[in-house]
Amino acid sequence: MKKMHLFNLTLLLISGLFTGCGSTGLYVTVTQPAEVNLKEFDKIAVGEIKGSGSGVLSALSDLVQVVGGGETRDSGSHKFSAELTQVLFESGRFEVLDHESLKMGFSQNNLTGNIALISGTISEYNYNEDLTHEDIEKKDKKTGKVDTTRTYYREGIAKVSVSLRIADLRTSKILATRKFDKSASAKESRKNSKPPRIDRSRLFEACRTQIIRSFMRMIVPYTERVYVSFETDKEMPELERGFRMIKLGNWDAALDIFQRITETYPNSPLVHKAYYNLGLSYMYTDQFDQARTALEEAYARKSEAKYLNAIKKLNIRIEDKRRLEEQM
């Protein structure tokens, strides 16, 4: 039985399966590389997150300023900084320096190691709430009396925009910068009376969480679900049997089945489907050379666009794996 080399690719078969005409698919979870390679940085610190847009990097003595308060733009920067620090710590990827450690290191000039500094500005931290109503009239057929029901609708929308920068603390060189714009909304309705106020703090928290999640994808490898569609055909039931092995997580058995189809029916007009399934199975078990051979054979047998797209995806997977190995 073939030995699968999974490297840093995590495969998770999701229970929700989808079936279509001539194809059957499922979701797999793959590990993607971070956008920015911070492997050389063993420490990370969250510096100043300003409440209004200004400047790029402050003087070193101001880098660890903490801004506090209520649910305002400035207080939002304080909460954002604290939440980002917590997520960085929970990732286990870096040694996270708190504000006091960073201040002390500056004052005593004893900071060691390579330190990545995160700083940024909150350019928008706004909340809007609208109250509207709709009247529905209903006439009683017997009495002719018209009753009016008024329904009130309250909608709140929070919007947060944050520009974040990652810099090498030793050189002040900016390694990456990105602006994140997120919004969150909630609705309430009530008949004949106004609904309660929207919890704006919860909406702001949702915006901050979305931004932090997006930012973490920049600096830490992450997983995402990818839908993979395999070929099936009632005239070649072996394809379905191979797919069932994949559903069970037995990729080795699936590879054996698809390989056997190509050897047993080399001249079948349907064999291109077996080569395609074989190529996908090799791709998602990180056996890229075999995957390329099988996918190119599928495309040679029948020049379908999805076969060519699979080859392009393979090239992306190869590059992603290379970047993952660099980052690990």
Give pLDDT tens digits for 250-299. 999 999 999 999 999 999 999 999 999 999 999 999 999 999 999 999 99
How many whole angstroms separate alpha carbon 281 and alpha carbon 254? 8
Rounded (5°) CA angle 214-89-102: 105
Measured CA to CA in angstroms, residue 311 lies from 14, 152, 296 at distances of 24, 54, 7
The pTM assigned to this predicted structure is: 0.77
> Which amino acid belongs to residue 324?
L
Q: What is the pLDDT of residues 157-201, one digit of tens each?
A: 999 999 999 999 989 999 999 999 999 999 999 999 999 999 999
How many whole angstroms separate alpha carbon 274 and alpha carbon 295? 10
Q: Are 298 and 8 in contact (CB under 8 A)?
A: no
How many whole angstroms separate alpha carbon 150 and alpha carbon 153? 10
Whether residue 230 is predicted with pLDDT greater than 80 in this model: the reply is yes
Give the domain ranges of the chain: 18-32+232-327, 43-220
Q: What is the pLDDT of residues 2-56, one digit of tens each?
A: 444 444 444 444 333 444 346 789 999 899 999 999 999 999 999 888 875 333 3
CATH number for the segment(s) 18-32+232-327: 1.25.40.10
Give the model's pLDDT for residue 22.
66
Fold (topology level) of 43-220: Double Stranded RNA Binding Domain (3.30.160)
Compute how many other C-beta atoms are within 10 angstroms of the C-beta atom of residue 29. 14
